[in-house]
Amino acid sequence: MSNNEEILSVEQETEHAIKMGQFLNTLKDREDFRTLIIEGYLKDKVLASVSLLAVPQIKSQGLRPDIMEDLVAASNLSYFLQMVENAYVDATAPTLSDAEEEELNG
């Protein structure tokens, strides 16, 4: 890969991160998204699933793996949303290295 291709790739990644971050910000501003996904799924459903893990009938019926998969799914979604947010922040307000800061400050 040439330097021009690498630069183009970084620019494309940055544009993608900004676009995805803007989409996420739009969703987070919507009450229906916050209620359904953030509160309903990532909070309330997770708490309900965690509380089910201790129920003896759930344990005896072998349903714990299903509940654990629900928790893993919620964790994956939460992780994805956090990665989108982190990439957006890095793309819009990158953290400078010590050398870059020194160069800017002269």
Question: What is the pTM (predicted TM-score) of this model?
Answer: 0.79
Predicted confidence at residue 5, as pLDDT, reads: 65
Give buried/exposed letters for 39-55 (b at 16+ CB in 10 A, else e): eebbeeebeebeebeee
Residue 69 pLDDT grade (very low, low, confident, very high; cuts 50, 70, 90): very high
Residue 67's nearest CA partner among 46, 37, 39, 44 is 46
- pLDDT tens per residue across span 9-32: 888 999 999 999 999 999 999 999
- pLDDT tens per residue across span 51-63: 999 899 998 899 9
